[in-house]
Structure 1
Amino acid sequence: MSFKDREEAYESQYVHDESLKFRIQARRDKLFGLWVAEQLGKKGNEAEQYARDVINSDLSEPGDEDVKAKVRQDLQAANVEVHDHLLDRRLDDFHQEARRQIMTE
């Protein structure tokens, strides 16, 4: 295998890994958004739209703070008390679930 072949293989693997990470993150955010929508009393299309809004909020900045800030604000506006440690726990749970789902597709 030539150096160029190895370089192309590494680049291909990197693109695949980044794509996989993005898909898992988006799925996690959707699951999280649907859970938050349930806490807010949203159902059906309204819950789906809320989940899309959560996904889009995660594109603002690296990390999870943008997602947590969005849902924290929405929960507070609806007078729904959810502590940060529960948000963190649910994000972790949904990350594992999203990984499982993506890997079995």
Structure 2
Amino acid sequence: MTTFDEREQGFEKKFALDQEQEFKAHARRNKALGQWAAGLMGLSNVEEYAKAVVKSDFELPGDEDVLRKVFEDLKGAGVSITEGEVRMKMAELLAQARESVKSGN
């Protein structure tokens, strides 16, 4: 095996690891977002709602499906919040989740 082949395999492994970590970070972010939203709505079964938010991420590529679900649920529950505030919370929680995944927690 040449040095080039070894480098290529190294890059492929790093890419796979990065993708796995990003997937885990999004799942953690979605769970935390669901817990946050459930608290705002006063739901008693927080974990069930958080799981529903995680599942909603598989509907469409990107974050729009998660945003739509949480924002519409919050508005339906009478919570006064803007879409921008939900987006900001998503960004904040994603940064925390990435850090958590990176540190191995």
- Same-fold call, TM > 0.5? yes
Structure 1 residues 19-68: Cα deviation after superposition (integer angstroms, max 9, x where no partner): 0100111111111110001011023xx11111111111111112211011
Quote the residue 2:84 is aligned against. Answer: 85
CA distance in 2, matches of 1:6, 1:100: 27
Please name the residue that 1:7 is paired with. Answer: 8
TM-score (structure 1 length as normaliser): 0.89
Q: Which residue of 2 aligns with 1:62?
A: 61
Equivalent in the alignment of 2:32: 31
Q: Does 1:104 align with 2:103?
A: yes
Distance 1:88 1:69 in 2: 10
SS at 1:99's partner residue? helix
- Cα displacement (A) at 1:4: 2.3
The worse-fitting range, judged by mean Cα deviation, of 1-10 and 33-42 is 1-10
Gapped regions of structure 2 (runs ≥ 5)? none
Greater shift in the superposed pair: 67-76 or 18-27: 67-76
**What is the rounded CA distance, in whole Å, between the counterparts of 2:47 and 2:60 in structure 1?**
22
Secondary structure, aligned partner of 1:7: helix
The AA in structure 2 aligned to 1:88 is: R
- Partner Cα distance (1:16, 1:102) in 2: 11
**Which segments of structure 1 move beyond 6 Å, counting only runs of 4 or more?**
none
CA RMSD of aligned residues (A): 1.3
TM-score, normalised by the number of residues in structure 2: 0.89
Percentage identity across paired residues of the two chains: 33
Q: CA deviation at 1:14?
A: 0.9
**Runs of 5+ in structure 1 lacking a partner?**
none
